[in-house]
Amino acid sequence: MRIASFLPSATEIVYALGQEDSLVAVSHECDYPPLAREKSVVVQSNVDSEHLSSGEIDRAVRDLLARGESVYRIDETRLKSLAPQLILTQDLCQVCAPSGNTVTDVLRTLTPAPEVVWLTPRSLDDIATNIRDVATALGCVGRADAVIEDMRSRLTTIAERVASRRRLRVSFMEWVDPIYCGGHWVPEMIELAGGEDRLSRRHADSVRVEWSDIVAWAPEVLIVAPCGYDVARATEDARKLPLLPGWDALPAVRDGKVFVVDANSFFARPGPRVVDGTELLAHLFHPDIVDWHGPASAFAPLG
């Protein structure tokens, strides 16, 4: 089975299932595990996000979508030459990876037509279902069951560790300029880790929120997690937050509980590493009872 993955989370799932030798094509964002970078790239972005601020990226994306254009482009020539038998893609977010009509148009050019697995998760259970769906297409369901069982066991352990603690008021920012709340599976991660974010949207798209709503919620922990950013890139954008009215009055600011996290690795990609992201949140909420054994680069205080 020759596999083309159009999104990073699908690539991570393929590796978790031990099927990486069948992976012949990936997107430019597929960087984990590191060996994924050696695969042939067939998807690129139409937005130069590397050199734009978050506000400029937001405007560029909205302009493309308003014109009916895709945020991504697929290298049809290279894809045809690789002749994938299975394509892993999504129809959840036009900003995250090729979706909808963009993928459908490319499929019409491929002969024979490959099988397509559409991944559209909105919850942690959906992520598990997606892992099993990919495994079903690849004939390794037993391996998927083991991966899913490990994920659920670790999530249960996290919830048990923090069960005796009061839930903390949390604000999770999926974008900084403009500000977007947490969505889809992120609210579940926050709850399992011992927090509550009333501005987030459980199992639904993240949306723009007003800064005044965050001030009114008075979060005890503020998580800055711009979608697709690592800590260094997110910190650049987060430096403008202290200029906002009411910043110094936030309990999270007074108590030194404002953290920039590696959203690209642990939150934005609906794959096995969301469990690591949940463990990271539990550590940031309750560092006295939950240790963090992941990379030191996963988070940084915003001082």
Domain that holds residue 63: 3-143
Please tell me whether residues 15 and 78 are part of one structural domain.
yes
Please tell me whether residues 26 and 131 are part of one structural domain.
yes
Select from 110, 143, 176 the last residue of a domain: 143
Please tell me whether residues 204 and 97 are part of one structural domain.
no
Please tell me whether residues 211 and 297 are part of one structural domain.
yes
Please tell me whether residues 176 and 64 are part of one structural domain.
no
In a domain, 262, yes or no: yes
pLDDT in the model for residue 100: 53
Q: What CATH code is carried by the domain that includes residue 203?
A: 3.40.50.1980
Please tell me whether residues 41 and 173 are part of one structural domain.
no
Please tell me whether residues 130 and 171 are part of one structural domain.
no
What would you measure as the largest C-alpha separation in the chain, in angstroms?
A: 61
In a domain, 161, yes or no: no
pLDDT in the model for residue 17: 98
In a domain, 48, yes or no: yes
Is the pTM here over 0.85, yes or no?
yes
Please tell me whether residues 211 and 252 are part of one structural domain.
yes
In a domain, 278, yes or no: yes
Select from 89, 109, 143 the last residue of a domain: 143
Please tell me whether residues 27 and 133 are part of one structural domain.
yes
pLDDT in the model for residue 92: 54
pLDDT in the model for residue 55: 84
In a domain, 131, yes or no: yes
65 close to 71: Cβ distance less than 8 angstroms: yes
Please tell me whether residues 219 and 277 are part of one structural domain.
yes
224 close to 302: Cβ distance less than 8 angstroms: yes
- How many C-beta atoms lie closer than 10 Å to residue 51's C-beta? 7
pLDDT in the model for residue 206: 94
Please tell me whether residues 117 and 179 are part of one structural domain.
no
Instruction: Name residues whose C-beta falls within 8 Å of residue 154's C-beta, 6 or more positions apart in sequence.
Output: 275, 278, 279
In a domain, 151, yes or no: no
- The mean pLDDT values, 10 residues at a time, for the chain of 303 residues are 94 98 96 97 82 82 77 88 93 54 74 90 97 98 98 98 97 96 98 98 96 98 95 93 97 98 97 98 98 97 89
Please tell me whether residues 108 and 207 are part of one structural domain.
no
pLDDT in the model for residue 101: 60
Rounded CA-CA distance 259/250 in Å is 13
Cα angle value 144/43/181 (rounded, 5°): 70
Q: How many helices (H) and strands (E) does the chain have?
A: 12, 14
Select from 128, 143, 158 the last residue of a domain: 143
Overall number of domains in the chain: 2
In a domain, 155, yes or no: no
218 close to 251: Cβ distance less than 8 angstroms: yes
pLDDT in the model for residue 203: 96
In a domain, 160, yes or no: no
